[in-house]
Amino acid sequence: MIAEDMAQQAMLKILARVSTFDQSADPVAWSLTIAINEYRSYRRKLGNRETTQGEWTLAEPTDEDAPEAIAIRDNLRDAVRAVMGQLRPQDLEVIVAATYEGQRPSLAATAFRKRLQRALANSRVIWKKYYGDDRTG
pLDDT the model gives residue 117: 92
- Reported as type and span, the H/E element at residue 90 is helix 89-99
Give me the residues of the chain with pLDDT under 50, please: 1, 51-61, 136-137
User: What distances in angstroms separate CA 8 from CA 14, 15, 23, 40, 41, one per listed residue?
Assistant: 10, 11, 23, 15, 14
CATH topology of domain 68-137: Arc Repressor Mutant, subunit A (1.10.10)
User: What distances in angstroms separate CA 35 from CA 4, 16, 75, 109, one per listed residue?
Assistant: 12, 13, 23, 19
pLDDT the model gives residue 134: 57
pLDDT the model gives residue 57: 46
pLDDT the model gives residue 71: 83
pLDDT the model gives residue 61: 45
pLDDT the model gives residue 52: 45
